[in-house]
Structure formats: C-alpha cells, structure tokens
Amino acid sequence: MSARAASRTEIADIVEGFPEVLECHRVTGVDCFVIRAAVTSVQHLQELIDRLMPHGDTVTSIVLSSPVAYRTIDPAASVRHGVPDAEATG
C-alpha cells in the first residue's frame, strides 16, 4: 500500500481495527506498507480494499502456493553457511 503522506502515521492505527488484517509492515520502496490479510471471499477482499482506498493506493497480490513455508532460522546453520553470529560480532 502506498499511503498519502498525511495518512502514513494513521495507517497502523486504522488497520489495527480491521479484524481481517493479520500483519502490517512498514517497508521501503514504492509501497509504504505490506498488509497481510485473511478474507473469506473475493467480495470480502473488495470490501477491505474499499476501506483502505481513502488512505492510499493499493496493490493486491494473492498467494497461490508457498514453496517455502514459514520457518525459523537455526543460528548454528547460519554460522556454517558463513553468516556471522550477531552476538559474536556485536
């Protein structure tokens, strides 16, 4: 979502009140926010987008599959692959 300058500070408060919003992330780049939502239908998605539109421009993507599902990072594996341990370098 690309928010209008006046709305950027309000977006977090606004979407927090939307029960279908699972996550809202402030990001860099063209978009200001990435919002992850769970909707029950295309109609429900349209209604959510309609509620967001007064605050900025939306771009919608739908997950078709997840080749790599959510996983945690094993710190030991990171070190084995050349990623330094944050505590050792900090």
For residue 40, the model assigns a pLDDT of: 96
The domain containing residue 67 runs over which residues? 2-89
CATH of the domain at 33: 3.30.70.920
Give how many domains the chain has, as a whole number: 1
CA 88 to mean position of chain CA atoms:
30
Which helix (H) or strand (E) is 3 found in, with range? strand 2-3
Q: What is the pTM of this model?
A: 0.69
For residue 11, the model assigns a pLDDT of: 85
- How do the pLDDT tens digits run along the chain, 90 residues long? 787 655 677 888 889 999 999 999 988 888 888 999 999 999 999 999 999 998 888 999 998 999 998 888 888 776 666 655 555 555
Query: Amino acid identity of 12?
Result: A
